Amino acid sequence: MNTLARKKVANSKRIIIKVGTSTLMYPNGSVNLQRIERLAFVLTDLQNRGKDIILVSSGAIGVGMDLLNLSTRPATIPEQQAVAAIGQSQLMNLYSKFFLSYGQIIGQILMTRDIVDFPESRLNASNTFEQLLKTGVIPIVNENDSVSVEELDHLTKFGDNDQLSAIVAEITNADLLIMLTDVAGFYDKNPNTHQDAVLFSEISDITDAHYQQSGGQGSRFGTGGMITKLKAADHMLNLHAQMVLTNGKVPDTIFDIVVGKEVGTLFTPKD
């Protein structure tokens, strides 16, 4: 274990937490209320400790599918955008309910790719984050799925919230990105199909071999997979910042991470 790297994690002041759809939903397609409630508790407590906390949350389409009793993800862009619009409203209602029960105010920020591609709007987004954090508010970020598209010359979509979380870390100068997913970290092969899969405790340089080992797609509710998480980690390393990839099943694990315990896979710069 790299003691200095873990100490750097423990000293992080500004932390991005990214939670995937599979973490917020039960396998049967229903919303996991207990996990959302616990996540609100953990992040509020970190805020009370003096940390700057930003939550990047997927789940709009998953929650929308649950509300509409859909068993399969819509195939067309208009259908997906409509479901996302319904789900995003309900998701924020849930977050508001649980965070306010602990006295924590939240603010919603919906982003599209063009916001960070153009200097003026990028600066405006950065200023909004800074003002919210300055006043003790926890920003909750999601891609604006109801208007984002990716076709021809009209590119407004990030593609997935894994990469969005790394971009948010960049424009807010965050020290650490904690990515909560449905596996314990990054393995040399798929742990769901290989019992001998080995977990990487620390990675400082992402190579082609890592991408070859990632493979696979995301859940039926989300858009990501391990490849998008590696891309986010690579982005963080290029920023000379850190990222921890771990299982989000028990949100209290975040407490262990922020005190420097060895949890999941730590992506940390060589320096």
Q: Are 24 and 58 spatial neighbours (Cβ–Cβ below 8 Å)?
A: yes
**How confident is the model at residue 146, as a pLDDT?**
60
Number of H helices, E strands in the chain: 11, 10
Among 4-18, 39-53, 119-133, 208-222, the least confident range:
208-222
**Residue range 204-245, pLDDT digits in tens:** 999 988 888 876 544 433 344 788 899 999 999 999 999 999
Q: Is 121 labeled as ligand-binding?
A: no
Q: Is 181 labeled as ligand-binding?
A: yes
Q: Is 111 labeled as ligand-binding?
A: no
Mean pLDDT taken over the chain: 88
Q: Is 161 labeled as ligand-binding?
A: yes
Mean pLDDT across 166-188: 94
Q: Are 240 and 12 spatial neighbours (Cβ–Cβ below 8 Å)?
A: no
Tokens standing for residue 118: 């153009």
**How confident is the model at residue 230, as a pLDDT?**
93
**How confident is the model at residue 226, as a pLDDT?**
87
Q: Is 224 labeled as ligand-binding?
A: yes
Q: Is 145 labeled as ligand-binding?
A: yes
Q: Are 147 and 156 spatial neighbours (Cβ–Cβ below 8 Å)?
A: yes
Place of tokens 């742990």: 191
**How confident is the model at residue 190, as a pLDDT?**
82
**How confident is the model at residue 144, as a pLDDT?**
76
Domain that holds residue 260: 3-267
Q: What are phi and psi of 67, to 5 degrees?
A: -60, -35
Among 50-59, 69-78, 154-163, the least confident range:
154-163
**How confident is the model at residue 53, as a pLDDT?**
98
Give the span between the Cα atoms of 146 and 97, in whole angstroms. 23
Q: Are 21 and 222 spatial neighbours (Cβ–Cβ below 8 Å)?
A: yes
**How confident is the model at residue 74, as a pLDDT?**
86
Region label for 207, one of left (φ > 0), alpha (ψ between -120 and 50) or beta (otherwise): beta
Q: Is 57 labeled as ligand-binding?
A: no
- pLDDT grade, residue 56 (50/70/90)? very high
Q: Are 31 and 97 spatial neighbours (Cβ–Cβ below 8 Å)?
A: no
Domain of 50: which CATH number?
A: 3.40.1160.10
Q: Is 189 labeled as ligand-binding?
A: no
Q: Is 172 labeled as ligand-binding?
A: no
Q: Are 187 and 197 spatial neighbours (Cβ–Cβ below 8 Å)?
A: yes
Tokens standing for residue 90: 């309900």
Structurally, the chain folds into a number of domains equal to 1
Q: Are 41 and 33 spatial neighbours (Cβ–Cβ below 8 Å)?
A: no
**How confident is the model at residue 166, as a pLDDT?**
94
Q: Is 58 labeled as ligand-binding?
A: yes
- pLDDT grade, residue 262 (50/70/90)? very high
Q: Is 218 labeled as ligand-binding?
A: no
What amino acid is encoded at 44 in this protein? Answer: T
Q: Which residues contact residue 39 at a Cβ distance below 8 angstroms, ignoring those fewer than 6 apart?
A: 17, 19, 55, 98, 248, 251
